[in-house]
Amino acid sequence: MVPTYHLSPSFSLGPPDRGGELDLGIIIDNLKSLGSERPLNIDCHLRIDDRELYCDHKKGFTSTRAQMERGEYGIWAKFAAQAGIGGELSWTTERTANDTYQFKAFDTIYFNPTRDYLHRSMNLPDVNDFVVGSGYKPVYMITGLKIARGPAVKLKRGKSRKLKVDLGLNEPGGLTGFSVGPRFHNSEENEEEMSIEESEDFIIGIRVKRLYYKRWCFWKPAQLVGEVYNKGATMLDSDEGGIQTGEEVIDEDIIESDGEMAGMTVKMESEDGTNQVTWIVPIL
């Protein structure tokens, strides 16, 4: 199976049901600025019919930091153990391999946008203005989210030993068998725990569809193309049905029907030295 979910750049990004901006159907200009820049359609986001939404729910787990850092629960858990989550960040000097992480559950929510939904989203004024102003560069629509529910952590301090010294008394004529020199005792401190209350749910993975305009032949109008964007993805889908891969041509010609092709030309270039991409750009 091919990974399709990208690791969240920060485990402070809340899901939509906790007030987060990233939601299914949200359009962003690139993945590198995910969470740091305002989504393109945040003010005009189109509602998705509940019948088109899917959710995969899995039980959580309890693990030590050492287990997570070894990658036993996936790359996202390894990253979380190294970077820390929630209130744990204020206790970075106290973290040990024996710290315990607990997650109540994990949800994967996703949808497969229809052609109509893609068309309407791309024609939104805020999105269209950005696409035209950027020279028709690709944009990315969020089609899936992986969410960690009810995260919590217990930080443990390792056991430490202390050497206790009692100064003896040097008196002549002491009791037989009585040691009057210095006495040394080993004392062991009990392991201490610092519990951090349950933190806010956060997004651990994001699936996107890349959208752009492409002209297949010079004598035909440009078309909207949507494709699942897997480059750099590290997590698999959760047995999702009907997942589309590769290019999907959106039949209707949005650009010409809106008169946007006036003053435009076609520019062909190679992306990453492999795939050839056709751009619709203004005539200079």
pLDDT reported for residue 12:
86
Average pLDDT of 125-154? 93
Give whichever of 123-132, 230-239, 252-261 has the largest mean pLDDT: 123-132
Task: Quote the tokens at residue 143.
Answer: 């089609």
Question: What span, in angstroms and rounded, lies between the C-alpha atoms of 13 and 213?
Answer: 30
- What integer is the mean pLDDT of 77-101? 70
Residue 271 has pLDDT above 50, yes or no: no
Pairing of strands 183-188, 223-228: unpaired
pLDDT, greater one: 45 or 283: 45
Q: Of all residues in the chain, what percent carry a pLDDT higher than 90?
A: 39
pLDDT higher than threshold 50 for residue 185: no
Q: How confident is the model at residue 10 (pLDDT cuts 50, 70, 90)?
A: confident
pLDDT tens, position by position, 156-168: 665 544 444 443 3
Instruction: State the pLDDT at residue 94.
Output: 61
> Tokens for 21?
């901006």
* pLDDT of amino acid 182: 47
Of 155, 254, 253, 141, nearest in space to 199 by CA: 155
152 CA to centre of own chain: 18
The band of 59, judged by pLDDT with boundaries at 50, 70 and 90, is: very high
Question: What are the C-alpha distances in Å from 46 to residues 123, 145, 184, 259?
Answer: 11, 17, 74, 24
Given a contact cutoff of 8 angstroms between Cβ atoms, the answer to whether 207 and 140 are in contact is no
pLDDT at site 230: 92
| Separation between Cα atoms, residue 117 and residue 123, nearest integer Å | 10
Average pLDDT, the chain: 75
